[in-house]
Amino acid sequence: MTTTSDPARGEARGWCCEVCGAEGTGRQFGTLHAHWGEGSQHAGEQYRLRLCELCFFQTLAHLRREHDVQHLFDDEGMADPERFGRIEVTTVEEPAAAKRVGMLRDQLGPIPEDFDALGSDEIRQRFEGSEDTSED
């Protein structure tokens, strides 16, 4: 794999397809990557091939055909051959805030105006580490 890189930007500026030799720039390439672990026949071996768009999709088509051959007599075929190997990226939306039920509304009587300040002196004293927590 031939590349020139710009470490400051974290990207490859120039590269060469490992199959056909086509040259490219930026991130317009596909990658076939393998890192074989312990117990594998190829333990410790790593592979990474950068492929131009044409070679990538030819390789993908070959793998699709191989999948079809391996599953020739299965009852169900591939769900959607055009999506074989494709990763779907979706955005996750924040869940809506939980709505308060209010089942005790109108049953507790009026809420004092200084409700949020109740016990604030004692809380402040304990937070600041004051020894005297007695109320006058």
Examine residue 79 and state whether it is found in any structural domain, yes or no.
Answer: yes
Residue with tokens 């950068």: 50
Domain count for the chain, please give it. 1
Please, where are the H alpha helices in 71-130? 120-127
* CA distance to 53, 112, 125, 126, per residue, from 135 (Å): 76, 20, 11, 12
**How many beta carbons lie within 10 A of that of residue 17, not counting itself?**
21
* Its pTM surpasses 0.75: no
pLDDT in tens, 55-111: 999 999 999 889 888 888 887 766 677 788 888 888 888 877 777 667 676 777 777
The structure tokens 């004293």 sit at 125
Check residues 54 and 112 and name the one with the higher pLDDT.
54
Per the structure, the complete domain to which residue 40 belongs is given by 3-83
> Is the residue at 113 inside a domain?
no
